[in-house]
């Protein structure tokens, strides 16, 4: 059987106003996940796609190992720190041993309801949406479960309308931000991690309630820089099968900078994005860093 014949049928479908992918997500399992029991030592990192998820997976795994890279090398990052919405993990939510670490792209209303009683902790990481859009566009050529865009204009339409895995960036961030007081949540931005990784790591460590000395924090910083993650097969997902990610066509660790959108959006596309941003976000107090 060829690679193509083995490829599962990946289709974007709607689940309660959010977009998921057939064969990796299941509406039935997501429905059950909402009622899953939450424990105080559960920790979720929540992001819209391309906002720094695998970066946070690496940072959190290293904080947990007090900066010891070898402790985080024995298993795939996706096993230590899985996406809760993937069917195999959503199904086993109740039986996973504590303390449970998950990442998720789900909107606020699809994660287990217990989180809304401030049980467990959430770290929400956002990124300026022009860089999210740019990163996501490139990722669609690399990830086989996502439809290859016709061109950037086509992808821009889909992103603005929320016709992508993860749904609307605007709804995602607005939803999480407006419901923040219901959760035990720390908001961080990709840009603050870029600008001062150590300060961000110390903030995360405190929020999580971990106790690391300065050398251990420095080790976490060192092993989670873009350069070091890019050459670490465990951190950059080189081991994911080709049916999911075609390593010849791209990389999770692409550029890792602020402002790459300038190399992709035309002047007209940028003006259109600014107009949509203004319409959808003018009443939201969150501020974004667009350039370094
Ligand atoms: S996904 O598919 O949603 O899990 O993708 P996600 O991990 O959220 O986002 C991938 C982008 O994060 C960048 N990245 C980093 N930037 C700086 N430093 C480090 N250490 C780092 N790790 C990951 C990665 O390069 C992707 O952004 P782009 O702009 O495509 O480079």
CA dist 157 and 150 (Å) reads: 11
List pLDDT tens digits, range 33-58.
999 999 999 999 999 999 999 999 99
Q: What is the pLDDT of residue 72?
A: 66
Residue 170 has pLDDT above 80, yes or no: yes
Decide whether any atom of ligand 1 lies within 6 Å of the 224 Cβ: yes
- Pocket test of ligand 1: the residue of 135, 136, 231 to mutate, having most ligand atoms within 8 Å of its CB, is 135
CA dist 102 and 194 (Å) reads: 22
Decide whether any atom of ligand 1 lies within 6 Å of the 104 Cβ: no
Contact 142, 50 (CB under 8 A): no
List pLDDT tens digits, range 179-214.
999 999 999 999 999 999 999 999 999 999 999 999
Domains, the chain, with CATH or none? 10-128+166-243 (3.40.50.300)
Decide whether any atom of ligand 1 lies within 6 Å of the 254 Cβ: yes
Q: What is the pLDDT of residue 252?
A: 82
Task: Residue 142: count other Cβ atoms within 10 Å of its Cβ.
Answer: 18
Residue 245 has pLDDT above 50, yes or no: yes
Q: How far is CA 166 from CA 25, 44, 212, in A?
A: 11, 16, 34
Decide whether any atom of ligand 1 lies within 6 Å of the 230 Cβ: no
- Pocket test of ligand 1: the residue of 20, 25, 50 to mutate, having most ligand atoms within 8 Å of its CB, is 50
Torsion of CA 57, 63, 67, 71, to 10 degrees: -60
Decide whether any atom of ligand 1 lies within 6 Å of the 126 Cβ: no
pTM of the entire predicted model = 0.95
- Among the options 25, 105, 138, 140, which is catalytic? 105
Catalytic-residue membership of 105: yes
Residue ID of nearest Cα to ligand 1 atom 14: 256
Residue ID of nearest Cα to ligand 1 atom 10: 50
């Amino acid at each position: 059987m060829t690679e193509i014949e083995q490829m599962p049928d990946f289709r974007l479908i709607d689940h309660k106003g959010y977009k998921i992918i057939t064969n990796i997500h299941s509406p039935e399992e997501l429905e059950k996940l909402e009622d899953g029991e939450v424990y105080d030592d559960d920790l979720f990192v929540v992001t819209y796609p391309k906002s720094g998820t695998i970066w946070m997976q690496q940072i959190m795994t290293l904080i947990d190992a007090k900066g010891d890279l070898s402790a985080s090398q024995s298993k795939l990052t996706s096993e230590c720190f899985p996406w809760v919405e993937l069917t195999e993990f959503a199904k086993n939510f109740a039986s996973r041993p504590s303390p449970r670490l998950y990442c998720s792209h789900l909107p606020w209303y699809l994660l287990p309801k217990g989180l809304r009683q401030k049980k467990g902790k959430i770290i929400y990481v956002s990124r300026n949406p022009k860089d999210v859009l740019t990163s996501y566009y490139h990722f669609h050529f690399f990830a086989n479960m996502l439809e290859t865009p016709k061109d950037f204009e086509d992808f821009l339409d889909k992103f603005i309308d929320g016709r992508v895995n993860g749904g609307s960036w605007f709804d995602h961030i607005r939803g999480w931000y407006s419901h923040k007081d219901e959760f035990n949540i720390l908001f961080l931005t990709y840009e603050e991690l870029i600008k001062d990784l150590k300060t961000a790591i110390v903030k995360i460590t405190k929020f999580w309630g971990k106790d690391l000395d300065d050398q251990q924090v420095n080790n976490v910083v060192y092993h989670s820089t873009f350069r070091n993650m890019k050459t670490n097969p465990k951190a950059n997902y080189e081991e994911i099968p080709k049916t999911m990610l075609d390593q010849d066509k791209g990389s999770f660790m692409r550029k890792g900078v602020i402002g790459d959108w300038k190399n992709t959006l035309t002047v007209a596309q940028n003006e259109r994005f600014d107009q949509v941003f203004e319409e959808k976000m003018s009443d939201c107090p969150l501020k974004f860093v667009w350039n370094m």
